[in-house]
Amino acid sequence: MLPNFIIGGIMKSGTTFLHNLLMNHPEIKIIKRNMDHAYFDDDRIFPMGEKWYLDLFNEVKDLQEDYVIGQTSADCAFNPGSIDRILAHNPDIKLIFVLRHPVDRAYSLYWHQYGMGREFRRFEEAIKKEPELIQKSYYNFKNYSYLERSRYQKQFEEILSKVPKQNLLLIDFVSLTKETKKTANAVLNFLNISEIEDIEDLNYSKLPRNPAKIPSSHFVVQLSAGLQRLGFRSLGRSLVNCFRQEIKPTKMSPDLRIKLEKELIEDINFYKQVEDNFRKQIN
């Protein structure tokens, strides 16, 4: 049953980078990424049904005897019920998750949402408002879960209990970005396909890069966020895009970082365990 594997996130942890690498392997066919295709991990899309989902693979389904076929959907760990849906569809599917340090990941996601004009609050205000906001609507749950998405311990307790060990691969962000060839080969071994001899076998130097772009006007971000909340998402996005610049986000204050590290200590420990285990695997 298609797909053979899913790259399941976590958001802002290198998921797109891994997706783009695997697209260039001759034994892999991975469908082009489209956020509307988040079938298992979006409650608004799942009711479309299995036939609708399988139609996403029309271009590659006749090739399944010669290729490993996959897709990427970054909320499979986070959205409740996703794992059960996936396993009900294909109990033998292989799942790949890339994890990033919980505090760094939350801060990166915040700047992504700010840059898209969805978030208009400053980071400290946004995470204070988060517990209240994500209870109000599914839209808020999907878009403003900065710290909640970093609570790995809770998310992966379910995954580790339900997914057979041989079908689950947890990768750390640092290994993916700093030891890319070794990480890619670990993924290829996991999928039972040929390793690469050189990272350029996956067109590494030609992969699309998505540098952070931050809007130069906070007022424009506020206006864009308001338009998007009212349902004018295209207009809001177009507006904020006119003011985005390729600049680095400001650094988090040391005091806030210490506070968040205390709050997410269990999840940081889980991440460190994943990091240690994966580095042992590739070295």
pLDDT band at 36 (very low <50, low <70, confident <90, very high): low
Q: Is residue 243 domain-resident?
A: no
d(CA 139, CA 277): 35
Q: Is residue 252 domain-resident?
A: no
Q: Is residue 259 domain-resident?
A: no
Q: Is residue 275 domain-resident?
A: yes
Cβ-based neighbours of 134, under 8 Å, separated by 6 or more: 140, 141, 144, 145, 148
pLDDT band at 89 (very low <50, low <70, confident <90, very high): very high
Q: Is residue 15 domain-resident?
A: yes
Q: What are the φ/ψ torsions at residue 200 (nearest 5 degrees)?
A: -70, -10
User: CB atoms < 10 A from the CB of 216, how many?
Assistant: 12
Q: Is residue 202 domain-resident?
A: yes
* pLDDT reported for residue 282: 96
Q: Is the pLDDT of residue 123 over 70?
A: yes
Which of 4-13, 64-73, 88-97 is predicted least confidently? 64-73
Q: Is the pLDDT of residue 61 over 80?
A: no
The rounded radius of gyration (Å) of the Cα atoms in the chain is 19
Q: Is residue 24 domain-resident?
A: yes
Which of 48-57, 125-134, 176-185, 261-270 is predicted least confidently? 48-57
Q: Is the pLDDT of residue 129 over 70?
A: yes
Q: Is residue 123 domain-resident?
A: no
* pLDDT reported for residue 64: 66
- Mean pLDDT for all residues in the chain: 93
Tokens of 55: 């139609």
Task: Give me the domain span that covers residue 85.
Answer: 5-102+149-209+265-282
Total of domains in the chain: 1
* pLDDT reported for residue 60: 85
Q: Which residue has the higher pLDDT, 53 or 59?
A: 53
| Distance (Å) of CA 60 to CA 2, 16, 140, 142, 155 | 10, 20, 34, 30, 31
CATH number for the domain harbouring residue 34: 3.40.50.300
